[in-house]
Amino acid sequence: MEFLKAPTLLLVIFSLAICSPISAQNKGGYWPSWAQDFLPPSNIQTAYFTHVYYAFLSPNNVTFQFDVDRTTASALNSFNTALHGKNPPVKTLFSIGGGSAGVKQLFSKLASSPGSRAAFIRSTIQVARNYGFDGADLDWEYPETQTDMNNFGLLLDEWRVAVNNEATSTGKPRLLLSAATRHEPEVRDNGVAKYPVASINKNLDWINAMCYDYHGPWTPDATGAPAALYDPNGSLSTSNGLQSWISAGIQRQKLVMGMPLYGWTWKLKNPSVNGIGAPAAGIGPGNEGAMLYSEVQQFNAQNNARVVYDTQTVSYYSYSGTTWIGYDDVNSVQRKVQYAKSLNIGGYFFWTAVGDQDWKISRLASQTWTA
């Protein structure tokens, strides 16, 4: 989840042994700190969200604690003052990590010993309380080995105990805990590493499954649907990911479906061959091939692009000349939200809330979920 990675987060379940009830709905949106200049938190339309995530903070790679400088402290205070003061107010969480370089290795080291886990957990609670957050979201992209996954589970176990104990001793509401995860309960970077579903069920309020980035600059030779609901040629899809989590035993209300408010671009080899899977010659325009949803709409209008809704994948693509863009739009988002509701899962989230155009997609998703 860096600029567009996704993503990539939390209600409480056991009090000491049993957490408090989980919310009936979760409509999340990530707000990246780089968006301050064009969409400050005060401009977020909170009627369409229940939870907004500040992205990102990362702990020190030696002490495993957060070093919050004066500028960041001011930004965190402003974020929470704005969103808690909105009508309606929303829950706020700070998301930890993201998809930037080195974060994966940092978390692997952090989770590997009791001492580093304890230092990190203490610091997350301090940051949440000092700056007014309702919880914290762990965005580890991704634990690569089964050892990492096991340590991830231990971290969650210890985090939940610490959060419960802090709430009991202070009388404050328990902090929410969530995690951004892969779209399915396995990571296959180095063999097969499986998420600790039992620990997730016991300790997290929900997970934000990043159901996007199935295709992008890392697949430069052919166009693809970045966040297909269905994959007619395989299993790389949101439906397969969500069903896999359910089959792995996750409690349905703790599963939250991610959707992208951005698209990925390719350069077509032959403009006459322009469907999903068309031969490509690398990435197209945008920020390293990425375009916010609002930028996709501007591109389509300015270039008289052909817009296609693909019923097989439940996704959109557009093309003009050699530029091809895969993304989600109104119809595909509505279909995805309806699908998530049919599974009786906990809700959905967007990476990122700032990508929308006049809140069109956010409004539609919210209305569809509550209909």
Tens of pLDDT, residue by residue, the chain (371 residues): 544 443 333 333 223 233 333 445 899 999 999 999 999 999 999 999 999 999 999 999 999 999 999 999 999 999 999 999 999 999 999 999 999 989 999 999 999 999 999 999 999 999 999 999 999 999 999 999 999 999 999 999 999 999 999 999 999 999 999 999 999 999 998 789 999 999 999 999 999 999 999 999 999 999 999 999 999 999 999 999 999 999 999 999 999 999 999 999 999 999 999 999 999 999 999 999 999 999 999 999 999 999 999 999 999 999 999 999 999 999 999 999 999 999 999 999 999 999 999 999 999 999 999 98
Query: What's the pLDDT at 3?
Result: 44
- Which of helix, strand or coil describes residue 291? strand
- 3 state DSSP class of 290: strand
Q: Taking a C-beta distance cutoff of 8 angstroms, is the pair 265, 321 a contact?
A: no
Q: Is the peptide bond before 88 cis (omega within 30 degrees of 0)?
A: yes
* 224: nearest Cα among 316, 296, 88: 316
d(Cα 6, Cα 225) in Å, to the nearest integer? Answer: 15
Q: Is 182 helix (H, G, I), strand (E, B) or coil?
A: strand
* 0.85 surpassed by pTM: yes
Beta bridge partners of 187: 193
Which residues carry out catalysis? 141
Structure tokens at 270: 């032959």
pLDDT at residue number 195 = 98
Q: How far is CA 179 from CA 155, 203, 213, 364, 369, in A?
A: 12, 11, 18, 25, 22
For residue 349, give Cα distances in angstroms to 234, 286, 292, 310, 312.
25, 23, 16, 22, 23
Question: Under a CB-based contact definition with an 8 Å cutoff, are residues 95 and 54 in contact?
Answer: yes
Those residues with Cβ within 8 angstroms of residue 33's Cβ, 6 or more apart along the chain or in another chain: 54, 55, 56, 75
**Cα(290)–Cα(4) distance, integer angstroms:** 7
How would DSSP label each residue in 243-288? HHHHHTT--GGGEEEEEESEEEEEEES-TT--STT-BEEEE-SSBT
**What secondary structure does DSSP assign to 20-79, as a single string?**
PPPPS-EEEEEEEGGGTTTS-GGGS-GGG-SEEEEEEE---TTT-S----HHHHHHHHHH
Q: At what angle do helices 70-84 and 114-131 cross, to 10 degrees?
A: 60
CB half-sphere exposure, 85, CA atoms < 13 A: 9
Strand partners, 351: 260
Burial degree of 363 (CB within 10 A; 0-12, 13-18, 19+): middle
Do the beta carbons of residue 329 and residue 316 sit within 8 Å? yes
DSSP one-letter string for 150-173: HHHHHHHHHHHHHHHHHHHHH-PP
Nearest Cα to 106, choosing from 148, 74, 72?
148
* Count of residues in the chain: 371
Token pair recorded at residue 72: 């960041």
What's the confidence (pLDDT) of residue 20? Answer: 37
Domains of the chain listed by start with CATH number: 26-260+328-370 (3.20.20.80), 266-326 (3.10.50.10)
The DSSP bridge pattern shows strands 323-327 and 315-320 to be antiparallel
CA distance 241 to 98: 20
Question: What is the per-residue pLDDT for 166?
Answer: 98
pLDDT score of 210: 98
Q: Which long-range contacts (CB under 8 A, 24 or more apart) does 191-195 make?
A: 191/145, 191/146, 192/146, 193/143, 193/144, 193/145, 193/146, 193/148, 193/149, 194/146, 194/149, 194/248, 195/143, 195/149, 195/152, 195/248
Whose tokens are 């990675």? That residue is 5
